[in-house]
Amino acid sequence: MRIIAGKFRSRQLKSLKGLTLRPTSDRLRETLFNILGELVVDSRFVDTFAGTGAVGIEAFSRGAKEVIFIENHAKAAAVIKQNLETLEAKNGTRVLPVEALKGLQSLSKEKSSNIDQQQIVFLDPPYDNAADYDRVLTFLGSATLLSENSLVIAEHRSKFELPEIVENLQRVRVLGQGDASLSFYRLRKNSSTSGPDL
């Protein structure tokens, strides 16, 4: 795996062999960040079910101010830390080696110093774990973690349809690329507070 763009462009990332991790493909990562564009710059990016951390590291490379990796698998969390150390990217990054919902619950209790900061939450559970999508999206749609300008992005199998509305989350876009799709959600608000178009 490699970093596609930004200050760490073309740098290689370590991965894990022999495990059932399914990293987000380079092509889908590139598509995701082309859509996000300048929204990533100075954002707080939460990479949930982070795996080897490729998506979060890509966000950091492209200018995210803070990146938080949530990964329950101990060996995968260790690889994320190794990748960050190799890139000398420890300032502004955190690895939470806990279950996804527990990590998000912990973040929701923290007081943000900048309520206007763009926050992006990316989640990529194992495709077959439909319950993980439901649990995490339901939590994000009902908790205080998100602000009006927050964005939630779920990667999922194209044949697996995620709901249009989950609690206070409203799906605003679906992008399919081969077997994988990205569903984009924002908090349901009036049109003046719905955040920039995607």
Q: What is the pLDDT of residues 135-152, one digit of tens each?
A: 999 999 998 888 888 999
Query: Two tokens at 189?
Result: 């608000």
Assess contact for 23 and 1: CB atoms under 8 A: yes
Pairing of strands 119-123, 44-48: parallel
Q: What per-residue confidence (pLDDT) applies to 140?
A: 95
Using the predicted structure, report yes or no on whether residue 39 has a pLDDT greater than 50: yes
Using the predicted structure, report yes or no on whether residue 190 has a pLDDT greater than 80: no
Say what percent of the chain tops pLDDT 90: 63
Q: CATH homologous superfamily for 26-193?
A: Vaccinia Virus protein VP39 (3.40.50.150)
> Whole-model pTM above 0.85?
yes
Domain ranges (residues) in the chain? 26-193
What would the pLDDT profile of 75-119 be if each residue is shown by its tens digit? 999 999 999 999 998 899 999 999 999 999 999 888 555 556 789
Assess contact for 58 and 3: CB atoms under 8 A: yes
